[in-house]
Amino acid sequence: DIDGVGHKYYLDLELEDVLDNDRTVNCTAEVLYHLGSKTSAPDVQLTVQGELRSTEEADKEFYHRIRSLEKELVAENIPDSHGNVPPELEPIHLLAWAASGYVIWQNSTENTNFNLAQVKHVKQVKRNDEDLQFDFVVLLHEMVSQEVLPWQVTLLWHPQRGARVPQ
């Protein structure tokens, strides 16, 4: 408890690579939830202790595949009702997780527990610069209230510059 400021949490985390179950990396984090404020996202400091796996090859290949599409990519219901994700849409699914992470961070309090339930809709938007842009509608499941609500979020991605949510 920090008087007049809020609640600060010190965390030791172990991240597991979802695509490579034997791979874990340790992290530490500090999270500050601001007092009383429902409109301000918590402050987060994260330190990764160790290295994340290089995905350079796969990133390049995905980037070129999307850039060379004649028509902008459009997809919905990822995964579908039965949990299926077509292999070529798996990277989009992963980017949606990143985009959801941003939304979840922005909307989290000490009494929420969000998870990405489904990518309802995704539309690629072609850009003049080198970024890929995806406009998502994601369904987030909030465990405490049990609500599943849609959120719109745009994500920019570039193999070297990584993922960003434009303001």
Partner 1 sequence: TINTELTIPGTNLGLLLKTPTYCRHQVLRIKTKNEEEVKQLQLLESLEHLQLDFWINPSAPALPVDVRIPAASVQPVKAFLESQGIQYSILIEDLQDVLDKERQDMAESAQRQRSTSSFDFGAYHTLDDINAELDQLASEHSFVEKIQIGESYEKRPLYVLKFSTGGSNRPAIWLDAGIHSREWVTQASALWIANKIASDYGTDESITSLLDKMDLFLLPVANPDGFVYTHTSNRMWRKTRSKIPGSICVGVDPNRNWDAGFGGPGASNSPCSDSYHGPSANSEVEVKSVVDFIKSHGNFKAFLTLHSYSQLLMYPYGYKCTRPDNYAELESLGRAAANSIRSLYGTTFQVGPICTTIYQASGGSIDWAYDNGIKYSFAFELRDTGRYGFLLPANQIIPAAKETWLGLMKIMEHVKNKSS
Min. distance of Cβ 90 from partner 1 in angstroms? 12
Q: Interior CA angle at 82 toward 79 and 85, to 5°?
A: 30
Chain residues 52-111 in contact with partner 1, contact rule CB under 8 A: 79-84
Site string for partner 1, 107-136 (x = CB under 8 A): --------xxxx------------------
Tell me the closest approach of the beta carbon of residue 9 to partner 1, in angstroms: 18
Q: How far is CA 125 from CA 74, 79, 87, 120, in A?
A: 9, 21, 21, 17
Scan residues 8-27 and list those touching partner 1 (CB under 8 A).
18
Q: How many helices and strands in the chain, by DSSP H and E?
A: 2, 8
Residue 38 sits in the site that holds partner 1 (CB under 8 A): no
- Are the CB atoms for 123 and 135 separated by under 8 Å? yes
Answer for which of 147, 152, 161, 162 binds partner 1 (CB under 8 A) is: 147
Report the Cα 127 to chain-centroid distance in Å. 21
Residue 65: count other Cβ atoms within 10 Å of its Cβ. Answer: 12
The minimum distance between CB 147 and partner 1, in angstroms, equals: 5
Minimum distance from residue 87 beta carbon to partner 1 (Å) = 12
Cα 157 from chain centre = 12
Query: Binding residues for partner 1, per CB under 8 A?
Result: 18, 79-84, 115-118, 139, 141, 143-148
